[in-house]
Structure 1
């Protein structure tokens, strides 16, 4: 199997796993993988994560032009902005996962660091998650908002919309966005109950031990 064929199959497999476990639904969410030539494989517009076809994934050149496959997701500017600002990004995943979206609607969430320090794992895999204001789906302003972060965040939350995570490869991006959703669920379950958070020193130790980007 060629590398391109392997990437196509991996995208379909990961997407189906996310869909089957209810982490995105209907035709929501999109995923991409950066290619060696600077282009990307992207899930098509209007497609369901549960029914992606490897042969119909959208292949884009480095400028975002469609080379083959179906018409790409309207969120291409969002993916492109991550690749242009984070040289380490090999894949980007965007979901409409329920608990993450719900947490983004809470009025007391810190927009610079939206996840409470409940466990070390979200810190290790995500760093600080930036909450961006509501932007219309498909609006190029999403890409501009990502560029405005100058590559300093691997994960953002689009308010009232869904999380977006960039990782070194597809597996890393999927694992990280699953951790984001799990932590958001914990935050909602424990909301108002006064849970014991990791202390500032605890967080600093995790950041140092696991060499986490923390700005």
Structure 2
């Protein structure tokens, strides 16, 4: 292993632990629910199966090669296949976070806005930072078939010129991704807090007007 690769892996380990600790401290994750991964070249770092994200040990993170073979660490999360397929479907993705965030799971139980957009475009920052988020029908945790559905959604939205940064798994919560830890985490936070806002207001607010959405597209290149 080259020194450059070793450094990248060490930095990714630190980022995963930092994000897990932060999400747990702020109530975005609980118990052993959720998982986090990073892509480093052709390899992947991912939290171990059933790991508590608030109490991660960087040495126990699973290091996995391109073929899914474990190189080091504890047994990889059962959602490894989904993470790998997301990275393959979106070459810009370098960090993936899946949580069971309370308001987003509650949204799937009480009913999303519509299957193509789980939440309406309520705020400008939701439109700019999150964008479209489709609902993924229920599959058991770790079911490899869910990856087919998610990657199909990624491809469909990319073809329509509105690439996505997140999906919402029915009864299991959001999966978000981005080019780095900070970007992916910001998407997760904005998504969960918008779900919280919508539920706190009893789903009464109207979406942003079409003219406001046009302005966000033209001014900030929002993918909506």
TM-score normalised by the shorter chain: which range applies? over 0.9
List aligned pairs for 1:169-188, cutoff 5 A: 169-188=180-199
For residues 39-50 of structure 1, the aligned pairs below 5 Å read: 39-50=43-54
Q: Structure 2 matches for 1:77-156, cutoff 5 A? A: 77-107=81-111, 109-151=113-155, 152=157, 153-156=164-167
Contact 1:123–1:207 at 8 Å: present in 2 too?
no
Offset, 1:114: 1.0
The equivalent of 2:39 in structure 1 is: 34
- Is 1:204 equivalent to 2:214 in the alignment? yes
Q: Is the 8 A contact 1:91 1:169 kept in 2?
A: yes
CA RMSD of aligned residues (A): 1.5
What SS is found at the alignment partner of 2:81?
helix
- Give the unaligned 5+ runs of structure 1: none
Equivalent in 56, 62, 66 of residue 58 of structure 1: 62
Q: Report the CA distance between 1:190 and its aligned residue.
A: 0.9
- The 8 Å contact of residues 127 and 213 in structure 1, kept in 2 or not, is answered as yes
Q: Count matched residues.
A: 212
Is the deviation greater in 25-34 or in 121-130?
A: 121-130
Aligned: 1:15 with 2:20: yes
8 A contact 2:116–2:134 mirrored in 1 = yes
Cα distance, 1:126 vs structure 2: 1.6
Q: How far off is 1:105 after superposition?
A: 2.0
Residue by residue over 1:123-157, the C-alpha shift from the partner in whole angstroms, topping out at 9 and shown as x without a partner, is 11221001111111100011111121244322100
Q: TM-score, normalised by structure 1?
A: 0.93
Deviates more, 1:70-79 or 1:204-213: 204-213
What are the superposed Cα offsets for residues 74-104 of structure 1, whole Å, 9 maximum, x if unpaired? 0111111110100110111000000011112
Are 2:20 and 2:53, in contact at CA under 8 Å, matched by a contact in 1?
yes
Q: Which has the higher helix share?
A: 2
1:14 Cα deviation from its structure 2 partner? 0.9
C-alpha contact (below 8 Å) 1:99/1:184 kept by paired residues: yes
Aligned residue for 1:134, secondary structure, equals coil
